[in-house]
Every structure is written in C-alpha cells, then in structure tokens.
C-alpha cells in the first residue's frame, strides 16, 4: 500500500533499534550496563518533591481542562521571571510559547521559518536535526563537527554555508556530546549571522538561529553557559530559544517546555501547535508555574542534582582515562555539561579471540555490548560518519556502584583483542 512521500522516506532511529536489542538482552537475563538512554531513572533521580506535590495538588483541584493555546498566563509569567533572574534574558509573556516539552517547539520553529528547499545548517553529531529538516523538505547543510573542537561548531565551519541559508540549529550544552560553546566561539557565530542579515535586502528572509539550551543549568566546574542574545543583543530578532523542565528537574515525562523569541515568529508557532494540539497538560502547567517561584527549593535541588550527575560523569571519565593510560585504544572528553560523556572506542581492525576482525564500527558497538555488556550510542546514530569511533554515554540511569564494575568488564573485553 502506497503512503505519503514523507512517511515512506522517514529514517528509522538507530537509538530505538539499539534500545530494542538491549531490552531483549536484559529480558534474557544478561548483565547490561545501559548508558544509552537520554532519560532518568526516577528511583535514582526523582523529580523535585515540591514539584511532585504541586502536580498532585493541581489534579486534586481539578485542573484537567484545556490550557491556553500559548500556555497559561501564570506559567508564562513565571517563566519570564525565572529566566530573567537566572539567565538575564527579558522575554515578555507574548514572546513565550509553552508546549508539551521541547520537541513540538522545535518542530514549530522549523515549520514557521522554513519552506521546501530552504537551506538548514546543522552539525553532526546532533540530535534529530536531520529528521526535522526532512519534515519541512529543507536542504540539509550538514557540517561534520570535530573532536579537536569538542564537537562544537565554529564560525569558520559555518562561514562557507550561511549565504541564503534560512536556519542554523545550535545546541549548548550539546546533546549528544555534553560539551558547550565557549564565549568567543558563540560570539563569532553571532557576528557572522548579524553580518549575513545586514547583507540581505529587506525583501529577503533573514537567517535565524534556533538555540536549544535544554541542559543549560547542568554545567560543571568552571564551565559557563552562554547564549546568543546575552552576548549580542542584536541577535534578539533572529534567535529562537528552546527550553524545558525535562532535564533540569529530571522531569522528562512531565512534558512542559517553552520557546522564547520574537513575537512575530512565536505567534506563528502558536498557530501551528494549535492545530497539532501539543499543549502541556493543565495541571502540570499550574504546578510548574508554582514551582518556578520557589527559587530556594530549586537551588537546593540543583546543588544535589548537579553534584550527583557530575560525580558519575567524572568517575567514568577517570575510568576511561585509566584504560587509555594502560594502552587501550579508548579515550573520553572531560565532562562539561548535561548528562552525557563523549567517549571513543577505536577497535576497528582488532581481532577477537576467534580470530575474527572487527570490520567496522557497527561490529565494534556489537562487540562491547556482547562481551563487556556496555551499551552506548554511536555518534553515527546522530548523523556522524559511519566510521566514527565516538559514542554518547548517558548517566541518567547510572548507579554509582556499577561504574568500577563496568570499567573492569570493558578492560577484560579489550584485553581479548589483538
């Protein structure tokens, strides 16, 4: 049966495919260290108790009807106050759009700005930009990010492609890498966008930046989060922010996100989402509006939450560094932010004890899963080249007591190779 061109050409998710394989192994009783999921185990990382209580209370008060299409006013007022105080960004309630997490908002950005054939620039590895570009039938301008830049784009990477492009999709802290833009790097990108928009005539579409900062509260050590509008206020008319409670409060299933940007674009995004019906539930909106006003509770939660995430990232980073120092072909980038560690497992060409060579990175991924029980997501699942030896490791479901055990199992698996 023939279906739409879109549905016939959608690309399946490598992450979902890998996840199915992992679940089957666990079902059969295998010991798997599952670091694939960009989510949290609620038994390890529960949502804040005050937020949970507020959600339950909102349902008991029967907040179960439709919310406002753009998000309830009390929530948008709370977001305005929270973002102004915490990040120094001053967006009015008419410049804020609430939805059921970040995904509908990202979709609405692509739909509001991009026509068929428009040039959309994004780096790989990155999360889902290829799929959203496919949805709008845009022209994929794909830039392979490099390890020497911690897999973050530079202005020089972008410069050859900005002429007549419509959208640059940026994310910091970055999923899948857990790395961030440095101040000078992001300033240079902003200057490039402003220069390009100055060049364009009044009748031309401008070049916009979608800035996904879902993990901006989760930075470690001396790392600071930067955004385009704070660095270059002239970027305000050209920047669409994506944000949510999903990661900062371990609340991926609560489904409350928001976009911020110029009212002309936000209003068009609202109309698009009105037809889709991707609203955050009324009770959750009421609860989040209440919780965002409790700054002391939030700070207390984040101190512990950040500490627990960072400890896991650093322990695994130290484990991989030790393996590298022992001469094994692995390494890791020092953790900067989010819940992810970028690791390298470079085993292509190595031979197993059966004398079989690992012919490609897919076989490497299978080997570390089958022989070490280590499940991580290859960067090629995020659009990178199939030969890339780099992986995303996520600690949202990680128990600290498993880390040394996992490193030991990986060491034994690596020793078997020649």
pLDDT per residue as tens digits for the range 335-377: 999 999 999 999 999 999 888 999 999 999 999 999 999 999 9
**What angle is formed at CA 120 by the lines to CA 201 and CA 190, rounded to 5 degrees?**
65
Dihedral of the alpha carbons of 177, 130, 36, 369, in degrees to the nearest 10: -110
Give the per-residue pLDDT at 16: 75
Task: Specify whether the CB–CB gap between 181 and 224 falls below 8 A.
Answer: no
The sign of the torsion formed by the CA atoms of 270, 274, 275, 279 equals positive
- Extract the tokens encoding 119: 């040039």
- Chain segment 271-280, per-residue pLDDT in tens: 999 999 999 9
Helix (H) or strand (E) holding 171: strand 165-171
- How confident is the chain (418 residues) per 10-residue block, as mean pLDDT? 88 76 87 92 97 98 97 98 98 98 98 98 95 96 95 97 97 97 98 97 94 98 97 98 98 97 98 96 98 97 98 98 97 98 96 90 93 94 93 96 96 94
Helix (H) or strand (E) holding 351: none
Q: How far apart are CA 118 and CA 114, in angstroms?
A: 6
Give the per-residue pLDDT at 339: 98
Q: How far apart are CA 5 and CA 349, in angstroms?
A: 39
Q: How far apart are CA 409 and CA 368, in angstroms?
A: 9
Give the per-residue pLDDT at 13: 72
Q: Is 134 exposed, middle or buried (0-12, 13-18, 19+ CB in 10 A)?
A: middle
User: Please, what are the domains in the chain?
Assistant: 5-45+299-415 (3.90.1150.10), 49-298 (3.40.640.10)
- Looking up tokens 């309830």 gives 72
Give the per-residue pLDDT at 276: 94
Task: Specify whether the CB–CB gap between 113 and 166 falls below 8 A.
Answer: yes
- DSSP at 238: G
Give the per-residue pLDDT at 150: 95
Give the per-residue pLDDT at 203: 86
List of residues 6+ apart from 121 with CB closer than 8 A = 141, 143, 158, 161, 162, 165, 167, 168, 169
- Extract the tokens encoding 55: 């959600």
Helix (H) or strand (E) holding 344: strand 340-345
Crossing angle of helices 14-27/361-372, nearest 10°? 20
Give the per-residue pLDDT at 357: 93
pTM comes to: 0.95
Helix and strand numbers (H, E) in the chain are 14, 13
């Amino acid at each position: 049966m023939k279906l739409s061109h879109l549905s016939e050409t959608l690309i399946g998710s490598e992450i979902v495919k890998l996840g199915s394989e992992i679940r089957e192994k666990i079902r059969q009783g295998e010991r798997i260290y599952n670091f694939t999921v960009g989510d949290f185990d609620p038994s390890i990382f529960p949502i804040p108790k005050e937020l949970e209580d507020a959600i339950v209370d909102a349902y008991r008060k029967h907040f179960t009807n439709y919310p406002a299409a753009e998000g309830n006013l009390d929530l948008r007022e709370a977001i305005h106050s929270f973002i102004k105080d915490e990040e120094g960004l001053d967006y009015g309630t008419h410049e804020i759009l609430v939805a059921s997490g970040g995904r509908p908002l990202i979709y609405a950005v692509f739909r509001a700005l991009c026509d068929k054939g428009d040039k959309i620039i994004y780096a790989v590895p990155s999360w889902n930009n290829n799929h959203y570009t496919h949805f709008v039938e845009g022209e994929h301008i794909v830039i392979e990010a490099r390890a020497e830049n911690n897999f973050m784009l530079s202005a020089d990477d972008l410069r050859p492609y900005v002429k007549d492009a419509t959208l640059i999709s940026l994310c910091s802290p970055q999923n899948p890498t857990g790395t961030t833009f440095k101040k000078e790097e992001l300033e240079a990108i902003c200057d490039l966008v402003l220069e390009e928009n100055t060049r364009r005539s009044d009748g031309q579409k401008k070049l916009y930046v979608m800035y996904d900062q879902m993990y901006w509260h989760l930075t470690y050590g001396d790392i600071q989060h930067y955004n385009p509008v704070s660095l270059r206020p002239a970027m305000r008319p050209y920047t669409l922010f994506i944000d949510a409670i999903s990661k900062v409060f371990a609340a991926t299933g609560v489904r409350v996100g928001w976009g911020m940007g110029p009212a002309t674009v936000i209003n068009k995004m609202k109309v698009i989402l009105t037809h889709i019906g991707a609203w955050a539930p009324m009770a959750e909106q009421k609860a989040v509006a209440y919780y965002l006003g409790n700054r002391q509770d939030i700070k207390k939660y984040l101190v512990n939450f950040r500490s627990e995430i960072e400890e896991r990232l650093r322990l695994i980073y130290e484990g991989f560094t030790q393996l590298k120092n022992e001469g094994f072909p692995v390494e890791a980038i020092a953790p900067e932010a989010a819940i992810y560690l970028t690791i390298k497992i470079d085993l292509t060409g190595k031979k197993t004890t059966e004398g079989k060579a690992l012919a490609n990175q897919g076989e490497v991924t299978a080997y570390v899963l089958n022989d070490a029980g280590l499940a991580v997501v290859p960067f090629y699942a995020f659009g990178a080249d199939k030969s890339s030896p780099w992986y995303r490791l996520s600690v949202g479901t990680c128990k600290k007591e498993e880390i040394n055990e996992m490193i030991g199992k990986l060491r034994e698996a690596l020793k078997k190779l020649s």
